[in-house]
């Protein structure tokens, strides 16, 4: 590995999600430390679809990806979030009305 690679700009959230498109739903090994985490600053996420979660049927699923916060050291799951497919911002999944207005304004 070239020495300058450690200074390379990290991949964006959307680039990381795109790189995981070929992984089948629920196709994770038993060791969570080997799972394809999505990294954002100090937080790590796993796509909810990879955890065999019930698929979200909300309109917002058409415009982004559900992510589950997960501790990379212990495997403990945290809250579910949503990543906007347009801007890559991560939002808490509580209510989607604010995000609906944002998506409507940008499409």
Domain ranges of the chain: 3-106
As a whole number of angstroms, the distance between CA 9 and CA 36 comes to 19
As a whole number of angstroms, the distance between CA 51 and CA 69 comes to 12
Structure token pair of residue 64: 């982004």
The radius of gyration of the chain from alpha carbons, rounded to an integer in Å, stands at: 15
Q: Dump pLDDT digits (tens) for 10-69.
A: 689 899 989 888 887 766 777 788 788 888 888 999 988 888 766 666 777 778 888 999
The reply to whether the predicted model has a pTM over 0.75 is: no
């Amino acid at each position: 590995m070239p020495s300058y690679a450690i200074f390379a700009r990290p991949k964006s959230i959307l680039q990381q999600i795109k790189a995981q498109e070929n992984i089948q739903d629920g196709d994770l090994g038993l060791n969570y430390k080997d799972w394809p985490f999505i990294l954002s600053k100090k937080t790590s996420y796993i796509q909810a679809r990879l955890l065999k979660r019930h698929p979200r049927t909300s309109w917002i699923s058409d415009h982004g990806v559900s992510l589950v916060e997960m501790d990379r050291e212990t495997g403990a799951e945290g809250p579910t979030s949503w990543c906007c497919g347009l801007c890559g911002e991560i939002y808490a999944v509580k209510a989607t009305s604010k995000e609906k207005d944002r998506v409507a304004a940008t499409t």
